[in-house]
Chain A
């Protein structure tokens, strides 16, 4: 199926209540999905026999600071069976009372595990229902989110200290 056919099929299934917008760029369609419905949309994309997106290429995020909503979480999909690709995204906002959060898709595509862990630590987005929500690349003790636009890229000794030598038990 080509991009337009996939788009039409998703609109037919979910309607404009779930699919909040679409972008067309160089014949590539990007659909913006409602944040709370990301799991059912992904499940449909994976399990529908015509779409059959059995491979999740990538999960990432974009920080649109200072505009609102602040984050876009991107899902780049590929179907090995059908040899077609598609991209969906969800807008995620962060308020003082409510941290940025979206449902995890690890139960659909196990490869989302590390992608979501990296996105979580780099942007500070919580993936709800993730089976192993530890940090992936950054040191455990760092609390900052380096890929946020308001993060000072040089870091500092308080937020991103040099790691000390780990002292083993008994030494």
Chain B
């Protein structure tokens, strides 16, 4: 699996940890872009992005207003070349203090962003979009045709 992530509005070197299932891909100061290539078994997957090590002094408040806050924001997630686009909102952010924020791409408090999907991701994308919009009843058949065509042509080109 190829995983590409892009972050924006990175303030004051926030620490993060990126995992697929239980496998840690990165740990350290948040960068603006990442690309990972890894072997992932077929089936359920979870992308976890942990925001950690944020301390109270990383939030500067003046006159009751936050004027600077260590934080960052996830702006793009691509898996195997497919931009998840709006499906990224199927995620949630579980803050360490116990709150759960659905569809939250902002990493303010310590906690972890979780996105559950499936490998291969294309099948999950097509199914999720159809479940949400109910406008692509042929997605599964077309997915199979696509897989079949790729397989057939791969075989031919390898001859």
Q: Do the two chains belong together in a single complex?
A: no
Binding site for A on B (CB under 8 A): none
